[in-house]
Amino acid sequence: MEPLQPDTYLPDPLRAVRVIVFDLDDTLYPEHRYVLSGFRAVSAFLQDQGIAGQDVSPAMWSLFVAGQRGSVFNRVLEDCGIAPAKDLIDTLIDVYRSHRPDIELYPDARAVLDYFHLRRPLALLTDGYVQTQTAKIAALSIARYFDAVMLTDELGRSCWKPSPAGFERIMLTLGGTPDGYVYIADNPLKDFAAPRRLGWHTVWVHRPEGVYSGASAPDGSFEPSVTVEDLYQAARLIDAGFISH
């Protein structure tokens, strides 16, 4: 990816960016791939244990797509004629969260990480259970790109976004002033309020297939500074010749 020349459409807030902080799910890889991977792992477990006689991952996916996301395992067990006992559901949740996911980076994510990781300090800040997010990072082989990785669950559930705690911890680690930071993420319902309050810049990667592609910010404090279609566009805005190294 070649650096761009300064352009009149470049939003002023991105001209001072020094540190680029990325979200993970639906920003660097497609989250639906993780869900499918988890359902396949759960289905394999059910078959290995003799609980289900066939692959039930398609049924799980159909329920998920239909919006029944908190009761997928219960419904599938019931449809198989199996009582959804709490200990079994807890086991399936653990299988889902702890499996090694079959996921890949978006092509634009790989290119942008390759381009920037020797040019700017990079960080990763993501919600989600530590075990789950750690497995995703390992499967994607991306830890090497980042000068800081912030799994907000390590600070406690109350520190998940929109809490500012994770963002503050990254600033303590990497230093500098708030206007030198940008957070690139996918969810306007929670991702941008805290960094905006801290004085960061924010970029919404609005991917059509993303889980939150149809979401909108609940109020002005949750609005991103800039909305882009992909990480290529975000990178070109950041790297348009105004960035201090």
The pLDDT assigned to 119 comes to: 87
Are 171 and 64 members of one domain? no
State the chain's maximal CA–CA distance in angstroms: 63
Helix (H, G, I), strand (E, B) or coil at 1: coil
Are 150 and 121 members of one domain? yes
140: CATH: 3.40.50.1000
The pLDDT assigned to 219 comes to: 66
The pLDDT assigned to 210 comes to: 63
Is residue 7 situated within a structural domain?
A: no
DSSP the chain: -PPPPP-TTS-GGGGG--EEEE--BTTTB-HHHHHHHHHHHHHHHHHHTTS-SS--HHHHHHHHHTT-TTSHHHHHHHHTT----HHHHHHHHHHHHHS-------HHHHHHHHHHTTTS-EEEEE-S-HHHHHHHHHHHT-GGG-SEEEEGGGG-GGGSTT-SHHHHHHHHHH-S-GGGEEEEES-TTTSSHHHHHHT-EEEEE--TTSTTTT---SSGGG--SEEESSHHHHHHHHTSS----
Are 140 and 201 members of one domain? yes
Is residue 40 situated within a structural domain?
A: yes
Is residue 244 situated within a structural domain?
A: no
Are 65 and 128 members of one domain? no
The pLDDT assigned to 243 comes to: 32
Structure tokens at 107: 């092509």
| Residue ranges in the chain modelled with pLDDT below 50 | 1-11, 241-245
Q: Would the pTM of this model clear 0.85, i.e. be above it?
A: yes
Number of structural domains the chain divides into:
2
CB 222 within 8 A of CB 189: yes
pLDDT in tens, 233-243: 999 888 774 33
Domain assignment of residue 87, given as a range:
32-98
**What CA–CA distance (Å, rounded) separates 198 from 181?**
10
The pLDDT assigned to 72 comes to: 94
Are 23 and 107 members of one domain? yes
The pLDDT assigned to 217 comes to: 63
Are 139 and 87 members of one domain? no
The pLDDT assigned to 225 comes to: 86
Are 208 and 218 members of one domain? yes
Residue at token pair 């390590």 = 154
